């Protein structure tokens, strides 16, 4: 397993990360344990979860139970700021809420520190100075080692960087955002900002919720029990005429070179600027094996240019 620095920090993470949103939701504790142990066996060190995953706390609880003594062997990443109550009382990035949220996550995760604590979304109601100072206090207390953000617009990355430098407090070392062969919006502003400030990029939905696996075919109903069959919202979001055309061309591109769509999707991301780890979920150990093998393809400059022509038009 290739190990990379997370942006400009000294934190080292596996080039393939494990997204833990399935734990406690799509699969139970024992099934999750098998996936977790397979990931550990194959050298995955970055485990990414969030407090809201699996009905508010379920994923963190499963991880805290299943990791046991192996906690020390991984980079444990979780997130805060998304709503953890229906009445709006437990969300955001205020000092008051951050202190409450981190203690709850530490308890569920059965650990006394979090390697990467990520703000899951920006909070328009709280000054960034307040958020960064609270996070810096957690770092100084040893409860958090590094901090990151997710779903920030580019200008907020710049604001956070400027404020952290001015206040001489801990700065964000990473950003976690959607990025894939069919969703390249972050290349307009966010990716250049991440490059400028040397933030490690952790792309989520690398397979566009399954569209880039090759299992969905144009004009054919999605297989039973697949995500697009059970979640029309996701199907409507990703299955567009544009995306279907792109996927067909990408499939032909990969097949002509003896590779799968999964290998193309992961290998392309692994070679993009600032990408530290490609985060992907799994419900079975075999999927972990496929994900780990999928980044081995080293695409040439000509191949990367051809992919741009296919996906950007």
17 neighbors 279 (Cβ within 8 angstroms)? yes
- Distance, in Å, from the CA atom of 293 to the CA atom of 15, rounded to the nearest integer, reads 11
Structure tokens that stand for 133 in this block: 């100072």
- Estimate to the nearest angstrom the gap between the alpha carbon of 149 and the chain centroid: 11
Burial 284-313 (b: 16+ CB within 10 A, else e): ebebbebbbebbebebeeebeeebeebbee
Active site residues: 53
Note whether 13 and 73 are within 8 A (CB): no
Instruction: For residue 77, count other CB atoms closer than 10 A to its CB.
Output: 29
Assign residue 88 a region (left: φ > 0; alpha: ψ between -120 and 50; beta: otherwise).
left
**What does the alpha-carbon distance between residue 237 and residue 35 come to, in Å, rounded to a whole number?**
28
* Distance of alpha carbon 13 from alpha carbon 4, whole angstroms: 5
> Do the beta carbons of residue 125 and residue 155 sit within 8 Å?
no
Distance CA 254, CA 214 (A): 11
**Are 20 and 33 contacting, i.e. CB atoms less than 8 angstroms apart?**
no
**CA 58 to CA 78: how far, in whole Å?**
13
User: Which residue carries 């979090």 as its tokens?
Assistant: 114
């Amino acid at each position: 397993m290739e190990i990379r620095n997370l942006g400009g920090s000294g934190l080292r993470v596996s080039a393939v990360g494990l997204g833990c949103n399935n734990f406690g939701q799509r699969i139970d504790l024992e099934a999750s344990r098998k996936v977790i142990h397979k990931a550990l066996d194959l050298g995955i060190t970055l485990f990414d979860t969030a407090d809201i995953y699996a009905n508010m706390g379920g994923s963190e609880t499963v991880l805290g139970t299943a990791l046991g003594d192996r906690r020390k062997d991984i980079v444990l990443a979780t997130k805060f700021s998304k709503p953890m109550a229906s009445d709006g009382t437990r969300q955001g990035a205020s000092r008051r809420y951050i202190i409450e949220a981190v203690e709850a996550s530490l308890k569920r995760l059965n650990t006394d520190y979090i390697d990467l604590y990520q703000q899951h979304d920006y909070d328009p109601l709280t000054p960034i100075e307040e958020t960064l100072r609270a996070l810096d206090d957690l770092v100084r207390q040893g409860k958090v080692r590094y901090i990151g953000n997710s779903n920030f617009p580019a200008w907020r990355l710049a604001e956070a960087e400027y404020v952290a430098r001015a206040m001489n407090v801990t700065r964000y070392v990473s950003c976690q955002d959607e990025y894939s062969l069919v969703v390249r919006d972050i290349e307009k502003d966010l990716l250049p900002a991440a490059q400028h400030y040397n933030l490690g990029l952790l792309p989520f939905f690398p397979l566009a919720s399954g569209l880039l696996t090759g299992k969905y075919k144009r004009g054919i109903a999605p297989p039973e029990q697949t995500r697009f069959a059970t979640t029309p919202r996701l199907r409507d979001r990703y299955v567009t005429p544009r995306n279907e055309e792109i996927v067909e061309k990408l499939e032909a591109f990969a097949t002509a070179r003896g590779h799968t769509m999964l290998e193309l999707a992961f290998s392309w991301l692994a070679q993009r600027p600032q990408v530290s780890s490609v985060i992907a979920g799994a419900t079975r150990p075999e999927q972990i094996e496929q994900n780990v093998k999928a980044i081995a393809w080293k695409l040439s400059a000509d191949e990367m240019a051809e992919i741009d022509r296919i996906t950007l038009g």
